[in-house]
Chain A
């Protein structure tokens, strides 16, 4: 079991460019989560899929951010027209999805460190 895989581990983009981050959840897990982590804001929830369907995107900035899960083996987070304030570590997690969020263990990937210059 390789755990949650995130690629790339590091990404540097220029202001205004697009960034696409990839996540491969643990095989058999039906829930996938995206978080953003900064020193100031801590770990912020972005969005959540269950069985590939978007369930909750309440944490996603309304503009420029989008997430998809085209199949059960990967999810993408896309940031259009990146801005310096988007610099953060983006974490993906997966869980079995068998319980409610509070009672389900989330397994995190190592994160993608995004730097927008």
Chain B
């Protein structure tokens, strides 16, 4: 079963708009990571947010973590065409030291 999953398969926005991708998870975690994968490339980490943190920023990116609802969000402001990619959340499992990726949300930024 999927222990981390994004809530949408795909979405699109126009350049300059803001967008939020959501993720839910099913276990107790030590941290949650957001990755981005552009076409033809491997995933690249965007943000790592620890279980005792509620928010983390990285430039135009902002991640939140709500451990009570076991959910996280990644917001991108002032989107650019180069933000077009698949966005994954990934979490560990404090019990078994495993690491799981969601299936990803495909974001298209329209010029």
CB of A21 within 8 A of chain B?
no
**A45, B99: Cβ atoms closer than 8 Å:** yes
**A43, B97: Cβ atoms closer than 8 Å:** no
A contacts with B, residue count (CB < 8 A): 20
**B50, A103: Cβ atoms closer than 8 Å:** yes
CB of A18 within 8 A of chain B?
no
Interface centre among A45, A58, A101 (most CB of B within 10 A): A101
CB of A109 within 8 A of chain B?
yes
**A100, B92: Cβ atoms closer than 8 Å:** yes
CB contact list, B1-60 vs A, under 8 A: 29-33, 40-45, 48, 50
Query: Which residues on the B side are within 8 Å of A101 (C-beta)?
Result: 92, 97-99
Query: Which residues on the A side are within 8 Å of B41 (C-beta)?
Result: 108, 110-111
CB of A91 within 8 A of chain B?
yes
Interface of chain A, main secondary structure? mixed
**B92, A42: Cβ atoms closer than 8 Å:** no
Q: How far is the CB of A21 from chain B (nearest CB, A)?
A: 13
In the complex, A108→B36 CA distance in Å? 11
A to B CB contacts below 8 Å, 23 in the list? A35-B101, A42-B101, A42-B102, A42-B104, A43-B88, A43-B101, A43-B103, A43-B104, A45-B99, A56-B97, A100-B97, A101-B97, A101-B99, A102-B30, A102-B32, A103-B30, A103-B50, A103-B92, A105-B45, A105-B48, A107-B44, A109-B42, A110-B42
The 7 A-B residue pairs with the shortest CB-CB distance, nearest first, are: A102-B92, A108-B42, A42-B103, A101-B99, A43-B101, A102-B30, A102-B31
